[in-house]
Amino acid sequence: MKNPNREFKDAIYEQFSRIGKAVSSPRRLELLDLLCQGPRIVEILAKESGLTLANASQHLQVLRAARLVEADKEGLYVNYRLADQAVCEFFRAMRVLAESRLAEVQQIKRRFLEGREGMEPVNRDLLLELVREGGVIVLDVRPAEEYNAGHIPGAISIPLKELLLRLSDLPRDQEIVAYCRGPYCVLSIQAVEMLRSRGYQAVRLEEGIQDLRALGFPIAVGKEA
């Protein structure tokens, strides 16, 4: 005889497991992280994640089947976006949990940053306060589309690939705080090394837009003058 209580619980947890299965791939986690920055077409997502177009499309289809992302056809391109801001909050909560429970995360990070110029630990609270008060030059080195989707108010948008050509836009007598997508994004690391090697005062802000939003920072949308 079937137990309706057991059937109910089995059915519910089966649905919950769809989310777990969808995020069980490191590549799909990276795609979610990229989509937290704003909507992107498949071609850009494939390039940023180091995937072939076919593999990126397959991973995105899995995320779409779990209702984590949505897609729209725009001419010849398919534009993907998160189904809801809650998806990004879920991703960040999972990342923070991994950071607190898995010592390997910090070990990998420490090995990667060891010996890199300008990556010494900084007082995060003081740095965030300077950013909040406009006491430093804030530099967003993500692609312009990501900046437009959400950025620190007053931040200067100079994508990393344009930085060398636009150094004259930055003052040499003020501290520059560079940021990108979050603690595991390497764009701001490269930017700080590039700036410091050319005599600029530069440090890296680990937090990305989603972290700052969770900390209660105001986030601006669109282009700034």
Q: Is 180 a catalytic residue?
A: yes
> What is d(CA 204, CA 188) in angstroms, rounded to the nearest whole number?
6
Residue 214: exposure state from Cβ atoms within 10 A (0-12, 13-18, ≥19): middle
Provide the token pair at 26: 């490191």
Q: Would you say how long the chain is, in residues?
A: 225
> What is d(CA 207, CA 215) in angstroms, rounded to the nearest whole number?
10
Say whether 177 sits in a helix, a strand or coil. strand
Measure CA 164 to chain center: 23
Taking each helix axis from N to C end, the angle separating 42-49 and 26-35, rounded to the nearest 10 degrees, works out to 120
> What is d(CA 31, CA 50) in angstroms, rounded to the nearest whole number?
10
Which residues make Cβ contacts (< 8 Å) with residue 37, sequence separation at least 6? 142, 146, 149, 150, 181, 208, 209
Q: Which residues are catalytic?
A: 180
